[in-house]
Structure 1
Amino acid sequence: MADNRAVRLAGLRDALARADLDGLLVSALPNVQYLTGFSGSNALVLVTARDCVLFTDFRYATQVEEEVGDAATVRIEPASLWLGLWAALQAMVGVERVGFESAHLLHRDFGRLLEQGARWQWRPQEDLVETLRERKDETEIAAIEDAVAMAQRALQGTLSQLRPGLTETAVAGILEQQLREAGSEAYPFASIVASGRRAALPHARAGHRVLETGDLVLIDFGAVTRGYCSDITRTVVLGRATEEQKEVYETVLEANRRASGAVRPGMTGMAADAVAREYIDARGYGEAFGHSLGHGIGLEVHESPRLARTVEAPLAPGMVVTIEPGIYRPGWGGVRIEDDVLITASGGRVLTSFPRTLLEID
């Protein structure tokens, strides 16, 4: 881990030099963890050409020592992380132009930069660390693969208990218990369980609807291990599927297959999205696929890159993305099939192995 963090810091320092910055104030906690290994809930990190200083509080004195090691200089601040930051900056020679993460800094804290930190030149920055996070190293890929395996075990355990009469929230409870038993540290997002007509809501919250025979049941969830996420969706039928359900399902499945097989380095997010979208549109369901094809996963369940109609940035080896086409018909239901895919030098490698054929749950 220490060597990987050294490489990450070197990459950030190169980015700082290109941006004509003497340093960067990192306030987004996923970025803090990426650079230092620290997973606590209260931290700031200051990175310059020579230093990496992490500020946190007494609650994390033991944790930060265990997680960070020599990846950063740690300062436990008894009163305020900001007071520690000002003191550290004052002791640094030649640090004047300092970037801050404009997408993550609270307005209240921006006011601190203008008032208490007025002697330094503060420059808003976007995605300096997030761009580095797009391409995963071997340790990150291994963690995501483990999170995928945990999610798949949890899904298998959940489907074995699925039956008419359960509420969506009860199914979500079973799923989340199975995730914990599989070893998941947390839930990367509120698990989605949507049945019957509610399956037409792409991001439905599990509700009190009672599952019935004949329902489509859409389950979207993930696991977390060593801070890294997986994100999987499967749609099943309680009982026997109708011909209409089979047709919609097969359309989504083929769109998933085509996109997963097509993604490769150099392909833009726009082109990847088009592979699935054009097939669904040709089958007459284009208006029912309203969201983008996918997104990156890692320390966050939604991060760069994006596979969407407006994204011109190319994919690169080491990126891990979701492929999740869907068809949603109000008043009828919906189908989504989502896999996690690693972009390799030769194309996409699907990390998700859970069956994609339509499962009919008796």
Structure 2
Amino acid sequence: MQERLEKLHAYMESRKLDALIMTHPKNVYYFTGFLTEPHERFMALVLVKGESPFLFVPLLDGEKAREACPAIMIYTHDDSQDALTVFQQLLPTPLTHIGVEKNHLTAKTYESLVSIVHATEAVDVGELLSNIRVSKDASEIATIKRAIWVMEESLRRTLPLISVGMTELDVVAELEYQMKKLKAQGPSFSTIVLAGEKSALPHGDPGEHAIQAGEVLLIDAGVYVDGYVSDLTRTFAVGQIGSELLDMYDTVLQANLAGIQAVRPGAPIAEVDRTARAVIGDRGYGEFFINRVGHGIGLELHEAPYVHSQAAGELIPGMVFTIEPGIYNTKIGGIRIEDNVLVTKDGVEVLTSFPKEMQIIG
């Protein structure tokens, strides 16, 4: 944690900032070890030039914060107080030049913060924090691997329970039960289970549709383990499926493998998307590939790097992201195969191990 904080102090020095006020809960966790969701209540990690950092949290989270980060001073506010009024009393003023997370703050809170410290300049530090977090260290990678194992084992335990006639929501319930049995903190997003034509909706909502023989079943799910996420998609055949769906599946699988092969340190991020997209385009399904090929995962389900055909920058060791090409034909169904990969100093490590060959269930 100290090494991470030192990077912030160096940035503050380079930009001549008087203070850095961090409000995104996941960034607070990354730099302190304290993880919570304050909901509508105000929370901030504050670095003031020449002073020790402090954490300002709702009173409800005060004791948990002290246990998580005993080396950092903790201040609290309760629900009867105006949080920013209490916060103002903890700050030396004026703080002419400050750093804030503009993407996370509401317009009202941003204006209030600038006003109470009498700032003449407020620098957005969101990109800085994203760049610091983008390369995962060994501890983070180990935690992500545990999250992946829990997700894959949950799916392994659920598949034998799926049968024709079950609804999509039935499968969601079974899968999320297994997640909890395996000690996940919870799903990392709303579990997606879609059958038949609905599988062509990349972000469709599971419902009362009963699974039928001859259609595909797409399962996209992930879990939180110690604050870090996994994100896995596999598509299954329910009994025997038609030749077009089989061809779509093989195309997506080849695109997935090609995308993985394009991963290496120094390669353009955009090349991963373009490589996978070319496979699908060459097989005649280009119009049905409507999503970017991947996104970073870590403390958040979607974080840098964002892997699309116009992405700027190069891959660097420690990046962890998804590779998830798909074909979505609303007339017959959709296919998506998603892996989680790590950029290593020599190339790529595929962190997910769940089989990708077509599996028949039900």
Residue 57 of structure 1 deviates from its aligned partner by 2.1
Query: For residue 347 of structure 2, what is the aligned residue in structure 1?
Result: 347
Give the gaps of 5 or more residues in structure 1: none
- The residue type equivalent to 2:26 in the other structure is P
Shift of 1:250: 0.8
Give the unaligned 5+ runs of structure 2: none
Q: Which moved more, 1:278-287 or 1:79-88?
A: 79-88
SS in 2 for 1:171: helix
Query: Within 5 Å, which residues of 2 pair with 1:50-65?
Result: 50-65=51-66
- The CA distance in 2 between the partners of 1:11 and 1:241, in whole Å, is 54
Q: Supply the distance in 2 between the matched residues of 1:241 and 1:12 (Cα, whole angstroms).
A: 55
Of 15, 22, 30, the residue aligned with 2:18 is: 22
Match for residue 315 of structure 1? 315
* Preserved CA contact (<8 Å) 1:134 1:319: yes
> Which residue does the alignment assign to 1:189?
189
Tell me by how many angstroms 1:77 deviates.
Answer: 2.6
Deviates more, 1:60-69 or 1:325-334: 60-69
Moved more, 124-133 or 264-273: 124-133
Contact 2:101 2:125 in 1 (8 A): yes
Q: CA deviation at 1:125?
A: 3.6
Q: How many angstroms apart in 2 are the aligned matches of 1:82 and 1:195?
A: 49
Partner residue in 1 for 2:85: 83
Q: Residue type of the partner of 1:284? A: G
Classify the secondary structure of the residue corresponding to 1:159: helix
Amino acid at match of 2:278: E
Sequence identity of aligned pairs in percent? 35
Given the alignment of the two structures, is residue 239 of structure 1 paired with residue 271 of structure 2, yes or no? no
SS at match of 2:149: helix
Q: Letter of the aligned partner of 1:299 in structure 2? A: L
Pairing 1:12–2:14 present? no
Listed one character per residue, the Cα deviations across residues 156-201 of structure 1 (whole Å, up to 9, x for unaligned) are 1111111111111111111111111111101111001111000110
Shift of 1:215: 1.3
Q: RMSD of aligned C-alpha atoms?
A: 1.6
* Whole-angstrom CA distance in 2 between matches of 1:303 and 1:77: 30
The residue number in structure 2 matching 1:146 is 146
Higher deviation after alignment, 21-30 or 219-228: 21-30
Deviations 1:234-263 (A, max 9, x none): 000111232222211111111111111220
CA deviation profile, 1:249-308 (whole Å, cap 9, x unmatched)? 111111111111220111122111111001111111111111101000011010011110
Amino acid at match of 2:158: T
Structure 1 counterpart SS, 2:190: coil
Cα-to-partner distance string for 1:133-153 (whole Å, 9 max, x where unaligned): 111111111110000000001
Which residue of structure 1 aligns with residue 286 of structure 2?
A: 286
Structure 1 residue matching 2:132: 3-state secondary structure:
helix
Moved more, 351-360 or 206-215: 206-215
Cα distance in 1, alignment partners of residues 92 and 293 from structure 2: 47
- Cα distance between partner residues in 2 of 1:316 and 1:48: 31
SS in 1 for 2:60: helix
The answer to whether the Cα contact below 8 Å between 1:12 and 1:132 also exists between their aligned partners in 2 is no
Q: Distance in 2 between matches of 1:24 and 1:269?
A: 30
**Match runs of 1:212-361 below 5 Å:** 212-361=212-361
Contact 2:154 2:182 in 1 (8 A): yes
Q: For 2:61 and 2:243, how far apart are their aligned partners in 1?
A: 57
Give TM-score, length-normalised by structure 2: 0.94
SS at match of 2:335: strand
Report the Cα offset of residue 121 of structure 1: 4.0
Q: Deviations over 1:115-144 (max 9, x none)?
A: 333356433343221111111111111110
Contact 1:56 1:81 in 2 (8 A): no
Aligned residues between the structures? 355
Post-superposition Cα deviations, 1:38-91, rounded to whole Å, max 9, x if no partner, equal 112232111234422100122112211121221x22112343442343222227
- Paired with 1:44 and 1:114, the residues of 2 have a C-alpha distance of 14
Q: Distance in 2 between matches of 1:291 and 1:9?
A: 36
Determine whether 1:158 maps to 2:154.
no
User: Aligned partners of 1:18 and 1:164: how far apart in 2?
Assistant: 62
Task: Assess if the C-alpha contact under 8 Å between 1:13 and 1:48 holds in 2.
Answer: no
Equivalent position of 2:70 in the other structure: 69
For residues 112-123 of structure 1, what are the structure 2 equivalents within 5 Å?
112-118=112-118, 121-123=121-123
Instruction: Determine the C-alpha separation between the residues in 2 that align with 1:83 and 1:224.
Output: 35
Do the aligned residues in 1 keep the contact of 2:62 with 2:75 (CA within 8 Å)?
A: no
Q: Partners in 2 of 1:223 and 1:77 — Cα distance?
A: 32
SS of corresponding position for 1:90 = coil
1:173 equivalent to 2:176? Answer no
Cα distance in 1 between the residues matched to 2:58 and 2:126: 26
After TM superposition, the structure 1 stretch with the greater mean CA deviation from structure 2, 5-14 or 326-335, is: 5-14
TM-score for the superposition, normalised by structure 1: 0.94
